[in-house]
Amino acid sequence: MSELAVKAEKLDAADELASVRAQFILDDVVYLDGNSLGALPVSVPGRVEDVVRRQWGELRIRSWDESGWWTAPERIGDRIAPLVGAAAGQIVVGDSTSVNVFKALVAAVRMAAGSGRRDEIVVDATTFPTDGYIAESAARMTGCTLRPVPPAGVPDVLGDRTAAVLLNHVDYRTGRLHDLPGLTAAVHAAGALAVWDLCHSAGALPVGLDEHGVDLAVGCTYKYLNGGPGSPAYLYVRRELQSRFDSPLPGWNSHAEPFGMRPAYEPAAGALRGRVGTPDILSMLALEAALEVWDGEGVSVDAVRAKSLALTDFFLECVASYVPSGQVESVTPVDHAERGSQVALRCSDAGDVMKRLIERGVVGDFRHPDVLRFGFTPLYVGFGDVERAARVLGELLR
């Protein structure tokens, strides 16, 4: 047994989150793609079956009240809230991340417009593409210009014209963790609003939305929150801004009296102003079940973050030991303060290498053009998995 395998065993033995793995359906595959689609929590299949067979099949329409369907978007929002450092009443679940980016950015521009001529949206130039595409549409439809800037350069371009800034907390490709507190403060100093995309951070590390005064935030729930394929995204609107939140998608679910069927729109109070149409109940209640894992003894965002850093540290150590020098280059920052919960390795023929890794039972993913991406979900990934993944990668590249 190699020295690293022995170390992995020791780390696993000391891991206080190790027992949480039993709350997920896993097999002998090393699953390092939870940053794309989280594994299936044990609690989900039974819940979904109950939702389908009893709530839909037997109660039918009565379930909108009796099974709590109607209030699910805000109820589940309140379940996500503590995971991103938000007090209750500021998050609603529903729609896709893209749609929520649109709501958040347009609403941010409208709020900023109250304070002078602000007609520029600044967007992370390295963003996951959909945020950029949607930001372009939001800019076009609000008469703004769009300015793509790498996150580090954002403070330099902020000014009187800046309406809103859309940033990713963790870069989807490199795994770089951006400085949410510092950048938010800089945006505020310029009198603009900060909109954060938490897709690659929520559930993996502390976010601190309330503490850092973030204005609006969005995120998906199918990565580190394990909500299932295409489970609904969420929208955070800081409490102080809710009365001015002016949605570009004012669907009937966000009306003050949705069943009044009134011809004139009057927005509801609070976070549910961010709702739009009828929520997709199957996906939403699967997510609700998936979030129960966070109720477990000792399961906390801080514990998850500590293990996440230990996992990625150990992976980098194993890669350095097992992979021949020069074959891969990590594009993920070494500094903990700048690292999310993934490691991205630049590698020639990355697409082909990932295919062979998957054949060998190590599942990560490939990001165009040359990145091997490995996500570490501390709730179910162990140090033995990490050692094996690096070992197999080394064998393939030797």
**Catalytic residue set:** 128, 197, 222-223, 373
52 binds a second copy (CB under 8 A): yes
Q: Which of 233, 301, 323, 392 binds a second copy (CB under 8 A)?
A: 233
Q: Which of 102, 315, 376, 383 binds a second copy (CB under 8 A)?
A: 102
341 binds a second copy (CB under 8 A): no
Amino acid identity at 91: I
The distance in angstroms from the start CA to the end CA of the chain is 19
Q: For residue 175, which of 364, 389, 320, 15 has the smallest C-alpha distance?
A: 364
Count of residues engaged in binding a second copy, rule: CB under 8 A: 81
Amino acid identity at 236: Y
398 binds a second copy (CB under 8 A): no
Q: For residue 204, which of 225, 227, 175 has the smallest C-alpha distance?
A: 225
Pair type for strands 328-330 and 120-124: unpaired
111 binds a second copy (CB under 8 A): no
**The one segment of 133-141, 297-305, 306-314, 321-329 that binds a second copy by CB under 8 A:** 133-141
Q: Which of 248, 270, 333, 384 binds a second copy (CB under 8 A)?
A: 248
Q: Which of 250, 270, 333, 384 binds a second copy (CB under 8 A)?
A: 250
Min dist CB 96 to a second copy, Å, is 3
DSSP 73: H
382 binds a second copy (CB under 8 A): no
Pair type for strands 120-124 and 162-168: parallel
Q: Which of 78, 268, 367, 384 binds a second copy (CB under 8 A)?
A: 367
Rank residues 276 and 386 by Cβ distance to a second copy and give the closer one: 276
From CA 206, how far away is CA 212, in angstroms rounded?
A: 11
**The one segment of 11-19, 79-87, 178-186, 249-257 that binds a second copy by CB under 8 A:** 249-257
Grouping H, G, I as helix, E, B as strand and the rest as coil, residue 197 is strand
148 binds a second copy (CB under 8 A): yes
Rank residues 71 and 278 by Cβ distance to a second copy and give the closer one: 278
Runs of H (alpha helix) within 230-378: 281-290, 301-322, 350-359
Vertex 388 angle, CA 387 and 390, to 5°: 70
Q: Which of 22, 125, 256, 320 binds a second copy (CB under 8 A)?
A: 125
Q: Residue 33 corresponds to which tokens in the numbers above? A: 């793609």
Interacting residues with a second copy between 66 and 95 (CB under 8 A): 69, 95
Rank residues 11 and 154 by Cβ distance to a second copy and give the closer one: 154
From CA 100, how far away is CA 22, in angstroms rounded?
A: 33
**The one segment of 13-21, 96-104, 152-160, 305-313 that binds a second copy by CB under 8 A:** 96-104
- Containing H/E element for 104? helix 97-113
